[in-house]
Amino acid sequence: MSTYYAGLLADVGILTLGGLSVYIILATGQLSLGNAGFMGIGAYITSYLTVTLGLAITPALFIAAAASGLIGIIVGFPALRLRGIYLAMATLGFGEMVRSFFLNLSAMGGSSGFHGMKHISVGYIWLWATGVLLVVMLLERSRVWLEMQAVHDDETAAGLVGLNATAIKVGAFGAGAAVAAISGGLFAHHHVYIEPGNFGFERSIDFVLAVILGGSTVGPGALVGSLVLVMLPEYLRFLADWRLAAFGVLLIAVLLVRRQGILDRSLFRRLSLRGAA
Amino acid sequence: MLLQQLVNGLTLGAVYTLIALSFSLVMGILGVLNLAIAELFMLGAYFGFTAIIAQLPLPVALAAAMLGSALVAVVIQKVAYEPLRNAPIVTPMLSTLGFSIILQNVATNVWGSDPLQLTDEVLPGRLTLGPVSISTMQLLVMGSTVTLVAILAFVVQKTPAGRALRAVAENRDVARLLGVSAARVTLLAFVLSGVMAGAAGVLIGMHYAVITPYMGVDIGLKAIAVMVIGGTTRIWGALVAGPLIGIAEVMTVAYGGSQVRDFVVYGLMILILLLRPQGILGGSRSEQGQRV
C-alpha cells in the first residue's frame, strides 16, 4: 500500500469517527454544526498530554474523550432550550468560539499551530474507527437506542411514558463530543501538526455531510459517507480544474435521488442477510 | 479616534446587514438555511469587479451584480431547494452547500484564485467632519445600504407580493388555503435574497476587502450570527444587529486585539439564542424550530 493511499485511508477513518459523533447526537433529533469544536478540543488535549506530559497515545485519547464528553454535557444543557435550525446555529457558534479560543491560546501555539506529536499508523486509526463503530452498532440494538429514537420522534410523548428526555439528549451530546475528541486526537497524531483552522465550520459540515450522504438511520452510514467524501474527489482527478464542481454536482444529485442517504435500513438489512447466507 | 472607529464599524455593519437580510429572507419565510448565500455574495463581488474594470458606471455595476446573483439564486431554488422542500431541514441545507462548492470552483476557474482588489481611484475623495474622516466610498456603502433596505421594506410591507411573503412566513398552509401561491412566494424570497447578497458583494469589494473565491465563508457565517442576534422571525432585526456587530467587531479589533473578534461575535450570538431566542427585535412569539 502506497503512502498516498494510506493517507487517504487514515482520512476515511478519522472522518468516520467525526461522522459517528454527529450521528449519535442526530439520533436524538439534535443537529450539531459544531462538532469540529469538540474535535479541536480532543486534538489539543491529546497533543498536550503526549507531547508536554509524555503520556502514551491510548490513555491520552481516553482522557481527552472523557474531558470533551464532559464539555459536551455542559454544552448539552443549554442546548435543551433550542430546537432544529436554532440549535444548529448555536452549535455553529460554539464551534467558531472554540476555534477562536485556540487561536488565542498562546500556550498551545495560537495561530502558528502546535507540533511535536509522534506519527501513528493507519492501522491504529482503524482500530479506533472500527471499535467505536462496533460500539455504536451494539448500542443500536440496546434499549437506550430505542429511548433515543423515542425522543427523536416525539419528545413530549417520550416524556409522558416516563423517559428522561433531558438525560437522553444531554447524554447523547456528551457521547458525541467524546467520539469527536477521539477523531481529533487521531487527526493530530496522523498529521503531526495542528492549527485552529483545522477545526472550523467546514470540518463540522464534513461530519454532517458524511452522515447524511451515507445514511442517517444506520451507524455504518457514516463509514459509507466518509468513503464517498474522501475517495470521490480522488476519482474525479481526471477533470482537473473542474473536479470540485463535479463533486458538488454529484453531491446534489445523491441528495436528490436518495435523500435518506446511500445506506438505509432496508439496504443494510439486505446486505447483511446476503453476508450471513 | 472613537468616532472614527464608529464610522468604520457602521460601514462594515452595513454590509453585514445586507447579507443578514439575505439569509433572513429565506430563513424567516421558508425555515431553511441557504448556505450558498455566502457564495452569491462572493459572486456579486466578482460581477461588480468585472463591470467596474470594464469602465461601466457604478450604478450599472451594482445592478448587474444584483441581477446576476438573483439569477443564480433562482437556479439554486429550482434545483437544490424545491425538490427537497419536504425533507428534514438538514437536507436542503446540504444541497445548497453543494452549490457553494460548485460556485467557488467556477469562480476560481473564471477569475483565478489570486486575490483581486479595486484601487481607490474608482471613487476617490474624503470628507472631513471635525475629527472624523469619511471616504466617499464609505458614504456610498452606507447610502446604498440604506436605499436598498428602504426599497426592500417597501416591497415587503406595502406591495401585494410582500403581503403574500409575510402570509407564508406566518403560516404556509393557511396562506395557501387563502389562495397565495407558495411556489411564487418561494421564488420571490430567493430572488430578493440574491439581490441583497449581490449588492453586498459589490459594496464590500469596493470598500476594502480583497476579492477571492473563498471570501464568502467567513463573512457569511458572521452574517448568520447577525441574523440570529437581530431575530429570525422579524427581518428588521438585522437593521439593528448589523451595525451593532460591525461596531463591536471594529471596537474589539481596535481595543482588544483582532484575535478575540470572532469569540465576541459568536459568544454574543449564543447568548442571544439562549436568553432571547426571538432576537433583539423579535416579538413575544418564540419560534419553535422544526424537528431535524
CB–CB contact A83 B290 (8 Å)? yes
Residues 147 through 186 of chain B touching chain A, CB cutoff 8 Å: none
Helix boundaries (H) for B208-260 = 215-230, 237-256
Mean pLDDT of chain B: 86
Q: How far is CA B188 from the centre of its chain?
A: 16
Q: Which residue has the higher pLDDT, B139 or B284?
A: B139
Phi then psi for B211, rounded to 5 degrees? -100, 120
Give residue for cell 415587503: B156
pLDDT at residue number A72: 95
Q: Which residue of A has its CA nearest to B99?
A: A248
Q: What is the pLDDT of residue A274?
A: 67
pLDDT band at A272 (very low <50, low <70, confident <90, very high): confident
| Closest Cα in chain A, distance from residue B108 (Å) | 9
* Spatial CA neighbour of B246 closest among B230, B226, B229, B231: B226
Choose the closest CB to A93 out of B98, B99, B225: B225
Q: What is the pLDDT of residue A34?
A: 93
Task: Please tell me the predicted confidence (pLDDT) of residue A180.
Answer: 97
B277–A104 C-beta distance less than 8 A: no
| Per-residue pLDDT reduced to its tens digit, B254-265 | 887 777 888 888
Mean pLDDT across B154-158: 89
pLDDT category at B53 given cuts 50, 70, 90 is confident
- For the record, the C-alpha cell of A138 comes out as 451494539
- Quick check: B11 and B142 in contact, CB under 8 A? yes
Residue of B nearest to A244 (CA): B105
Any A CB within 8 A of B50 CB: no
Q: Which residues of A touch B259 (CB under 8 A)?
A: 100, 103-104, 110-111
**A37 CA to chain B: closest CA distance, Å?**
13
Give A131-164 pLDDT, tens digit per residue.
Answer: 999 999 999 999 999 999 999 988 889 989 888 9
Q: Which residues of A touch B275 (CB under 8 A)?
A: none
pLDDT digits (tens, 9 = 90+) for B167-184: 888 888 888 888 888 888
Average pLDDT over residues B247-276: 84
Cell reading at B121:
481611484
Is A81's pLDDT higher than 60? yes
> Mind listing the pLDDT tens digit for each residue in B234-243?
667 888 889 9
Place of cell 447579507: B19
Instruction: Give the pLDDT confidence score for residue A61 in this predicted structure.
Output: 97
pLDDT of the residue at A277: 46
What type of residue sits at position A17? L
pLDDT at A106: 86
Q: Is B238 left (phi over 0), alpha (psi -120 to 50) or beta?
A: alpha
Residue A188's pLDDT is 96
**Among A217-221, A258-262, B143-147, the least confident range:** A258-262
Residue type, B122: V
pLDDT for res B288: 43
d(CA A207, CA A15) in angstroms, rounded, equals 7
